[in-house]
Amino acid sequence: MKTFYIETFGCQMNAHDSEKVRGTLLERGYMQVETPDEAELVLYNTCSIRDKAEQKVFNRLQQFKRASGKGKVFGVLGCVAQQEGERIFERAPHVSLVAGSASYTKLPEMLVQLEAGNRRVTGLSLDTDETFDTPFTRRDNPHRAYITIIEGCDKACAYCVVPFTRGPERSRTSDSVMRETRSLAESGYTEVQLLGQNVNSYRDPSPRGWDFSQLLTNAGSVPGIRRVRFTTSHPRDFVKSIIDAIDENPALCNHVHLPVQSGSTSVLARMQRLYSRDEYMRRIEWMKNAKRDIAITTDIIAGFPGESEADFNETLRLADEVEYDSMFIFKYSKRPNTAALQYDDHVPEEEKTRRLMLLQERQRAIQMRRNASYVGKTEEVHVEGFNVATGQWIGRTTQNKTLNFSDAALPAPDEGQTLVGQYADVLVTRAGPNSLTGERVRESCVQ
């Protein structure tokens, strides 16, 4: 039996791609091992969204350079593979496979070539209208399942490599997505997460022609499915019917991740984001006016070329106005092939760091306030684990907040008894900036 090891970098799309690659390999008779040392085939599924992520992969490859003499085969998959292409063979001659995500449907053929001893196997074409649909996906998480509904990206944000690394936008048919959702429910999953670089740009290519809101509603109506999440939404394609769907179907989680990137309309224009600050705020208004209490999270890029102090202050002001439940802040990173590389007014590194820290500090106070408003409320959590160090169960609310809690009736996993994978009602007793703490309430105690 041939053995393989796979390490994944980057986003949820990559994590899920790795689950599909894993399934494809297991199906071909490979066995997964826990360390690269034990493996004959070592795969890195890579991310190139920022320079640091890309460097990590090359460091990893350097680390195992010497092992190549011992009959190991190395493969680079994902965004760095697509971006660097055959240059990887020059930088790391012990690599034998370089394949971007748009070529994964050809993975079985590439494996045949590798097994035949070919040491320069590539899958680098972006010219595809296929999605990587495979019946062999092997999921890591037994309780929450990822489902890719749309791959690639047709936008052209001035800072971003994704359109170059993941190819053009292509949606799966609604029939195929619904079949997968039903089959997951039948095998015991109660929570699914619909994935796409711009998940809400989904457009059913079959004659049924569902849009994203229709797909959401239908996925949320599958018997056995209690929670449907989705990420990432692009503000330009974010329509009111998505909020209406959430309002009407409690299985759709009341959390929207809507990356704004900047609070300044002029920076947004130079980023080629296709919306203004006002247009973005209109979408926030829809969410604030919804019947359900929708948690809103975002991504921000600090120090995009030409971002002035006044522009940055607009972002601080926007953060105050929206009161996000959580925020990912990234320092702008120069990426190959992108339009922003040509911009000449780059912000110095120290200034990017200063802005990032200022925003982090501001956001921490906002999160503290937001989370404090949950103290005294009872929230339903999906239980994900148990923390031995704190003696608490780890749960997640529909709004995607971590809620650690104690349970007097089951203070720890015991004789095969566990809460993991179950749902529990928890009274929130304390709040921190990044999580909530509480105590489980049994049905008879819920007011």
Given a contact cutoff of 8 angstroms between Cβ atoms, the answer to whether 319 and 327 are in contact is: yes
The Cα–Cα gap between 4 and 27 comes to 12
Query: Which residues, including other chains, have CB under 8 Å from residue 103's CB and lie 6 or more apart?
Result: 110, 123, 124, 125, 128
Size of residue set near ligand SAM by CB under 6 A? 18
Among 333, 397, 399, 404, which residue interacts with ligand SAM (rule: CB under 6 A)? Answer: 333
When asked if residue 301 is in the footprint of ligand SAM (CB under 6 A), the reply is yes
Interface pick for ligand SAM out of 130, 299, 380, 425 (rule CB under 6 A):
299
- Least separation in angstroms between CB 260 and ligand SF4: 11
Q: Which is nearer to ligand SAM, 33 or 53 (CB)?
A: 53
Q: Is 362 in the site for ligand SF4 (CB under 6 A)?
A: no
* Interaction partner, residue 163 (ligand SAM, ligand SF4, none; CB < 5-8 Å by kind): ligand SF4
Query: Which of the choices ligand SAM, ligand SF4, none does residue 301 contact, using the CB cut-off of 5 to 8 A by kind?
Result: ligand SAM
| Least distance CB 257 / ligand SF4 (angstroms) | 12
Minimum distance from residue 50 beta carbon to ligand SAM (Å): 5
- Residue 157 near ligand SF4 by CB under 6 A: yes
If one asks whether residue 197 binds ligand SAM (CB under 6 A), the answer comes out as yes
Helix, strand, coil abundance in the chain, percent, nearest 5:
40, 25, 40
Cα-Cα-Cα-Cα torsion 306, 310, 314, 316, nearest 10 degrees, comes to 100
Q: Does 324 bind ligand SAM (CB under 6 A)?
A: no
Q: How far is 168 from 126, CA to CA, in rounded Å?
A: 7
Looking at 88-96, 120-128, 156-164, 410-418, which segment touches ligand SF4 (CB under 6 A)?
Answer: 156-164
CA–CA dist 181, 200 (Å, integer): 17
In angstroms, rounded to a whole number, what is the distance separating the alpha carbons of residues 203 and 71?
45
- Per the listing, tokens 């890591």 go with 140
Closest distance of CB 156 from ligand SF4, Å: 6
The C-alpha atoms of residue 369 and residue 106 are separated, in whole angstroms, by 50
Provide the 8-state DSSP code for 346: P
Tokens of 227: 């929670």
Q: Is the CB of 332 or the CB of 386 nearer to ligand SF4?
A: 332
Per CB under 6 A, 261 contacts ligand SAM: yes
Residues contacting ligand SF4: total by CB under 6 A: 9
What is the number of residues in the chain? Answer: 447
Residue 301: both structure tokens together = 């890029």
- Please, what is the Cα angle at 375 between 372 and 379, to 5 degrees? 115
* Buried b / exposed e along 385-403 (16+ C-beta atoms within 10 A): bbeeeeebbbbbbbbbbeb
d(C-alpha 403, C-alpha 439), whole Å: 10
- Residue 197 as a binder of ligand SF4 (CB under 6 A): the answer is yes
Core vs surface per residue 93-110: b (16+ CB within 10 A) or e:
ebbbbbbbbbbbbbbeeb
| Interface with ligand SF4 in residues 219-238 (CB under 6 A) | 234
In the list ligand SAM, ligand SF4, none, the entry touching 297 (Cβ below 5 to 8 angstroms by class) is none
CB of 333 to ligand SAM, least distance (A): 4
Tell the smallest beta-carbon distance from residue 90 to ligand SF4 (Å). 28
Binding mask 124-153 for ligand SF4 (x = CB under 6 A): -----------------------------x
Give the shortest CB-233-to-ligand SF4 separation in angstroms: 10
Would you say 344 and 298 are in contact if contact means Cβ atoms under 8 Å apart?
no
Instruction: Decide if residue 162 touches ligand SAM (CB under 6 A).
Output: yes
Tell me if 50 contacts ligand SF4 by CB under 6 A: no
Binding site for ligand SAM (CB under 6 A): 11, 49-50, 159-160, 162, 197-198, 232, 234, 259, 261, 299, 301, 330, 332-333, 335
Binding site for ligand SF4 (CB under 6 A): 153, 155, 157, 160, 162-163, 197-198, 234
